[in-house]
Amino acid sequence: MHVVQLLPALNEGGVERGVVEINRELVKRGIKNTVISAGGRLAAQIVIDGGHHVTFDVKSKNPLTVPWRVRKLRKLINRLNPDILHVRSRVPAWLVHFANKNPRRPVVSTAHGFNSVSAYSRIMTRADLVICGSGAVIDHIRKAYDTPPSLIRLVHRGIDAETFDPERLNQQFIDEFRQRYDLNGKYVILAVGRITSWKGYAELIEAVAKAATYLPPYRLVIVGGVQEGQEGYAAELREQAKRLGIGDTVVFAGSQTNMAEIYHMADVVVSNCTSKPETFGRTMVEALVMERPVIATAHGGALDIMREGLTGWLLQPGDTARLAEILKEAPGKKFNSLRDYALENFSLGAMVEHNLAIYNEVLELYK
């Protein structure tokens, strides 16, 4: 079997990291895997792990370049001769829709988010089979596009237990990170994700400011690069922290690769998406695998992952007062078996096997 995955770029994000992991696991199973993207810092990892990467513009939304990109992509697909085309975003899906001809190859899509309902977004439901990362996404595409249930498959994202292993940590990185950001002896509140407004960082900073006088010595650590076009928002967050009097206790650590170590340094992890939900919420599972409780907003993928009282806390989106109350009580709470729960329900191996079953299922449709 030869699988070709297509996504806009290979930079930071849960989708991108998932593609890297699928690539590695397919290669381990003797399956040829090629990733087509516009490139990015994770592209080299595809090759290091034994896959193939082809740099191609499946990112630009410029309609003037679509005709020649379709022609080039058609030639590329025919040269690669894959058994499966797996599209993971709307631009690649549209390009494949027009390029995948003579012969037409099986197409699987993964609906990764709650995109605006439109003819443009509908393309993600026009594959032979559609993978959704959570029950909330299934509900979304069924209501928005009347997608037949027979075409939809639920596959939760899986976490690599070897990558996220509390017993296999880089102690030197931990020591240096703690020293750099003055974390020693501090209660660490961690938030992970690209700096963009819908991740709820402004509300989190507000809640931390409300809870600050009730907390032990603490640091709020925000890990994530600034999404393109969100530079002004990132500056506003820094100003907000200063204005609320907690500027010295809020750390913007930027994009990081040693995520297991960073979760290990945390005492509690916050996933506070406000204006729109997480499709799945990979960072929640990563935190649980590293035995750290999670505070999450009760919508989207969090409803598939979180169990109130077992894995942490749930709150309604935008409820800053409740978030502050949870932050006050969190230092005194203990949770058990978080890793066991996460690996039992969200393992990388199970995700890969589900994907392979879907690939084989769609191949049967073409026999």
User: In angstroms, rounded to a whole number, what is the distance separating the alpha carbons of residues 228 and 164?
Assistant: 28
Please tell me the distance from the alpha carbon of residue 282 to that of residue 234, in angstroms, as a whole number.
Answer: 22
Residues 84 and 189 in one domain: no
**Domain assignment present for 164:** no
Note the pLDDT of residue 116: 84
- Is residue 143 located within the same domain as residue 188? no
Considering the domain architecture, whether residues 306 and 361 belong to the same structural domain is answered as: no
Q: Are 290 and 339 in contact (CB under 8 A)?
A: yes
Helix 231-243 to helix 201-211 angle, to the nearest 10 degrees?
10
Number of structural domains (the chain) is: 2
Which run of H or of E encompasses 110?
strand 107-111
Say whether both 335 and 360 belong to one domain: no
CB 157 within 8 A of CB 133: yes
Per-residue tens of pLDDT for the chain, all 367 residues: 999 999 999 987 778 988 999 999 999 999 999 999 999 999 999 999 999 999 999 999 999 999 999 999 999 999 999 999 999 999 999 999 999 998 999 999 999 878 889 999 999 999 999 999 999 999 999 999 999 999 999 999 999 999 999 999 999 999 999 999 999 999 999 999 999 888 999 999 999 999 999 999 999 999 999 878 889 999 999 999 999 999 999 999 999 999 999 999 999 999 988 777 888 888 999 999 999 999 999 999 999 999 999 999 999 999 999 999 999 999 999 999 999 999 999 999 999 999 999 999 999 999 8
Q: Is residue 134 part of a domain?
A: yes
Asked if residue 165 belongs to a domain, the reply is no
The CA angle 13-350-4, to the nearest 5 degrees, is 55
Domain identity same for 94 and 106: yes
Both 301 and 195 in one domain: the answer is yes
> What type of residue sits at position 3?
V
Specify the length of the chain in residues. 367
Are 106 and 186 members of one domain?
no
Report in angstroms the alpha-carbon separations of 13 from 82, 227, 331: 26, 10, 29
pLDDT given at position 121: 95
Kindly state whether residues 104 and 215 are assigned to the same domain.
no
pLDDT for the residue 367 = 87
Q: Is 219:249 a contact under the CB 8 Å cutoff?
A: yes
* 77 and 124 fall within a common domain: yes
* pLDDT for 12: 74
Clarify whether residues 92 and 238 are in a common domain. no
In a domain, 163, yes or no: no
Q: Domain holding 23: CATH number? A: 3.40.50.2000
Q: Is residue 166 part of a domain?
A: no
Q: Are residues 330 and 351 in the same domain?
A: no
Rounded-to-integer distance, Cα 208 and Cα 321, Å? 10
Residues 222 and 318 in one domain: yes
40 domain-assigned: yes
Q: By the 8 A CB rule, do 8 and 59 touch?
A: yes
Is residue 324 in some structural domain? yes
pTM: 0.84
Structural domain of residue 259, as residue ranges?
Answer: 171-345
Residue 262: inside a domain, yes or no?
yes
